[in-house]
């Protein structure tokens, strides 16, 4: 369907969830309240029915080669989109994969998804069950946050909250005297993770950082042709860094080309500024009065009120030029 990529995000989320319940122990005590046995509860990925079937088919749990209780099992049971955490789908961010920032990576904002898990606790006594449950519940109030390196290529680590939704208890006594008792607690969890798409290198054609065009110009003659080279550097058309330098001191009408600002010291001549969604070119300035050319880069000329923020477009904004902007050149020139 699209280009191949695999960030292993869902896999890492499943592993992170299962790791939470490693090391749970139960203690067995004698009549004098002395601990004579400590059992570490094993955990495995798989449906509860698989373990129950083995219990029924191998009821003698004293054999060392058979399954023993207590035991934990977990599995992923759902994957749902979460619209409450939605962000702008075309927004991107840039990160470096090394210390000297020579390899920049660009990726779109992730898609929020909720991963549902079920954790099953199986024991043969109620005291064992309560020991295990009490080692889990205090950490979920109602959520517990783990940190996962979702995309190693760009070093994108995020805190993933895991919420305890509900607990279902099943204590069945049906059957004859020889039938084993099945004591099962099922805990339902939701992990709020993020699914990232593919990452693009700044050196690839997905984002243009520098364009060069060379061709021979001139008519056929005995004189040698002249090589002409054009070089294009990316130029930000708006303030991506929201670098507010001053504010308007008066209202601006549609025909206004000279207006006053609160402080023009940070606005040099022959520079670009933005007010609301309109970009201006500063032709000259006198004290705090600016003479401008309006509607630069095709931005709509509009009304602006006194007190509006004025942002300067600097070279720092060039690093945030949006992915796919080829500045008017098609793929044949890249």
pLDDT confidence of residue 103: 65
pLDDT confidence of residue 191: 96
Residue 329 has pLDDT above 70, yes or no: no
Mean pLDDT of 212-227: 49
Residue closest to 282 by CA, chosen among 262, 264, 298? 264
Mean pLDDT of 72-79: 92
Residue 246 has pLDDT above 70, yes or no: yes
pLDDT confidence bin for 65, thresholds 50/70/90: very low
Residue 1 has pLDDT above 80, yes or no: no
Higher pLDDT residue, 134 or 91?
Answer: 134
Show the tokens assigned to 289.
Answer: 């009065």
Mean pLDDT of 55-69: 55
Pairing of strands 71-81, 43-45: parallel
Show the tokens assigned to 9.
Answer: 């995000």
Mean pLDDT of 44-58: 65
Higher pLDDT residue, 98 or 12?
Answer: 12
Residue 91 has pLDDT above 90, yes or no: no
Note the Cα 160 to chain centre separation in Å.
10
pLDDT confidence of residue 98: 57
Alpha helices by DSSP H, the chain: 9-19, 48-57, 126-134
Lowest mean pLDDT among 95-104, 224-233, 247-256: 224-233
Mean pLDDT of 60-79: 73
C-beta separation of 105 from 129 below 8 A:
no
Lowest mean pLDDT among 11-15, 97-101, 118-122, 225-229: 225-229
Residue 67 has pLDDT above 80, yes or no: no
Q: Where are the domains of the chain?
A: 9-201, 211-234+326-333, 244-313
Higher pLDDT residue, 166 or 212?
Answer: 166
Higher pLDDT residue, 174 or 130?
Answer: 130
Average pLDDT taken over every residue of the chain: 78
Cα Rg of the chain, angstroms: 32
pLDDT confidence of residue 241: 75
Residue 197 has pLDDT above 70, yes or no: yes
Mean pLDDT of 104-115: 86
pLDDT confidence of residue 326: 46
Which top CATH class is 9-201? alpha beta
C-beta separation of 146 from 159 below 8 A:
yes
Note the Cα 91 to chain centre separation in Å.
12
Mean pLDDT of 33-60: 73
pLDDT confidence of residue 31: 86
pLDDT digits (tens, 9 = 90+) for 161-190: 999 999 998 876 655 555 556 688 999 999
């Amino acid at each position: 369907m699209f280009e191949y990529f695999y960030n292993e995000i869902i896999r890492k989320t499943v592993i992170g969830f299962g790791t939470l319940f490693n090391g749970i122990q139960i203690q067995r005590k004698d009549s004098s309240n002395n601990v004579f046995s400590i059992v570490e509860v094993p955990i495995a990925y798989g449906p509860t029915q698989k373990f129950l079937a083995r219990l029924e088919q191998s009821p003698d749990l004293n054999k060392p080669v058979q399954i023993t209780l207590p035991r934990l099992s977990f599995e992923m049971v759902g994957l749902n989109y979460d619209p409450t955490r939605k962000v702008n789908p075309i927004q991107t961010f840039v990160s470096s994969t090394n210390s000297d920032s020579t390899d920049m990576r660009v990726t779109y904002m992730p898609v929020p998804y909720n991963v549902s898990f079920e954790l099953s606790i199986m024991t043969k006594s109620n005291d064992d069950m309560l020991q295990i449950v009490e080692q889990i519940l205090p950490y979920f109030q109602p959520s517990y946050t783990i940190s996962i390196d979702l995309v190693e290529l760009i070093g994108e680590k995020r805190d993933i909250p895991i919420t305890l939704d509900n607990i279902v208890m099943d204590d069945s006594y049906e059957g004859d005297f020889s039938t084993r008792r099945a004591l099962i607690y099922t805990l339902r969890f939701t992990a709020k993770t993020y699914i990232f798409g593919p990452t693009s290198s700044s050196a690839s054609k997905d984002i243009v950082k520098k364009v060069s065009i060379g061709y021979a110009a001139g008519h056929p003659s005995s004189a040698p042709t002249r090589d002409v080279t054009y070089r294009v550097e990316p130029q930000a058309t708006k303030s991506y860094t929201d670098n507010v330098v001053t504010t308007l001191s008066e209202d601006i009408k549609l025909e206004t080309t000279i207006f006053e600002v609160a402080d023009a010291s940070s606005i040099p001549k022959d520079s670009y500024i933005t007010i609301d969604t309109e970009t201006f070119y500063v032709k000259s300035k006198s004290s705090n009065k600016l003479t401008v050319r309006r509607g630069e880069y095709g931005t709509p000329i509009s009304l602006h009120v006194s007190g509006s923020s004025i942002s300067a477009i600097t070279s720092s904004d060039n690093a945030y030029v949006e992915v796919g902007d080829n500045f008017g050149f098609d793929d044949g020139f890249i």
